[in-house]
Amino acid sequence: MVMRDELEFSLEHFGPVPWSNFLLNPRKLRGSDFLMRWSQGVWSEQQLVSAVDAAGEFFALPYGPSGVAPTEDVRAYELYFERLEHAGLAAIKRPDLLVFRDSSRVAVDKLVSSLGGLTELPFTREDDPTMAKLIELSVIAVECENSLWKAQQMPGFNQPLRPQKRLAGKLGLSKTAVLPTVIVKHEDLDRLVNWQETHQRPIHIWHAFYDVAFGLSLAKAQDLVKQGLIEGTVQVFQAPGGASSSKVIYKFYYHYAYPLATSTGEPKLVADSITDKNGHILPFVRFEGGGRKLTPEAMKELREAAEQ
């Protein structure tokens, strides 16, 4: 998906879930809204990496292309993904992070260094022997998602699941409920499953909110869909020219997830801007500071994965 033009619009009388029904093209940095969301995604991913490292038993490295893409220069960002496309790897779905035992740090550092550093991982095929060894050393792989919400202030937080007619009496909540969820895009689901089966490494989805984060294994996500406990939700994709198309995502209630991390400090919202090659100033708000701490439940998940 490529955002080719700046998207300017206003929303009036918007509902209680801002932006939940819109997915904007991320490839070309042409809009302030995307810059804000991109910056927040990078920030939340870095927060989770730091939280894993601080726990002491494990460490995490960015593995997917988004984690090491340039963030300060519009054209550098575009050229980065053009290079990825030329390498024939742009359409390949990789998890965002790999998590390793701390005892593997020296071996992992040597492998990454031999590949040219973290920034070269997205451009290296996974059938490369060194890449294969790197994946083999990992404990889990992680797909990162984030939301611009304070989860504990959402109306549906702490609301119990109840029998739902649309789910044939199975437990759930109304379609309009506003609560923390762990999101997986339908178009990513099969690709993540294929990666997991190919490399024999479990994938977890880690979804970060402003105040807390939740985790869900891909295996459990698959099971919830198969059982009919979670249905696909149609989202609207808004194209630059005004046309729209639909996509399907799965929103897994946080009740099914494990508490992943809590906030250890309030981040600041800082005004920032990027100027493109034509001199166009794109203002946005980014997150700065704050911190996360892994929960005992998250450590239990990592330890069990390491044992297996």
Residue 246: other Cβ atoms inside 10 A: 9
> Residue 281 — pLDDT band, cuts 50, 70, 90?
confident
On whether residue 251 sits in a domain, the answer given is: no
Give yes or no for residue 160 having a pLDDT over 60: yes
The mean pLDDT value for 17-45 works out to 56
pLDDT at 243: 54
On whether residue 110 sits in a domain, the answer given is: yes
Q: Range with the lowest mean pLDDT among 12-16, 44-48, 183-187?
A: 12-16
pLDDT in tens, 289-299: 788 999 999 99
Q: Is residue 220 a contact partner of residue 204, using CB atoms and an 8 Å limit? A: no
In DSSP terms, 259 is beta-bridged to 214
pTM of the model: 0.81
Between 78 and 141, name the one with better pLDDT.
Answer: 141
Q: Is residue 115 a contact partner of residue 124, using CB atoms and an 8 Å limit? A: yes
On whether residue 168 sits in a domain, the answer given is: no
Which residue range(s) make up the domain with 129?
22-151+184-226+256-307
Residue 195: other Cβ atoms inside 10 A: 21
pLDDT at 18: 35
CA distance 240 to 299: 43
3-state SS class at 97: strand
Between 53 and 284, name the one with better pLDDT.
Answer: 53
Q: How many structural domains compose the chain? A: 1
CA distance 175 to 196: 30
- Percentage of the chain surpassing pLDDT 70? 75
pLDDT mean across residues, the chain: 81
Residue with tokens 């209630």: 253
Between 277 and 259, name the one with better pLDDT.
Answer: 259
Give yes or no for residue 52 having a pLDDT over 90: yes
pLDDT in tens, 83-136: 666 655 555 678 999 999 999 999 999 999 999 998 888 888 888 999 999 999
Between 39 and 108, name the one with better pLDDT.
Answer: 108
pLDDT at 233: 86
In DSSP terms, 238 is beta-bridged to 244
pLDDT in tens, 206-236: 999 989 999 999 999 999 999 999 998 887 7
The mean pLDDT value for 167-179 works out to 92
The mean pLDDT value for 1-7 works out to 37
On whether residue 238 sits in a domain, the answer given is: no
Phi, psi of 237 (to 5 degrees): -95, 120
3-state SS class at 119: helix
On whether residue 6 sits in a domain, the answer given is: no
On whether residue 281 sits in a domain, the answer given is: yes
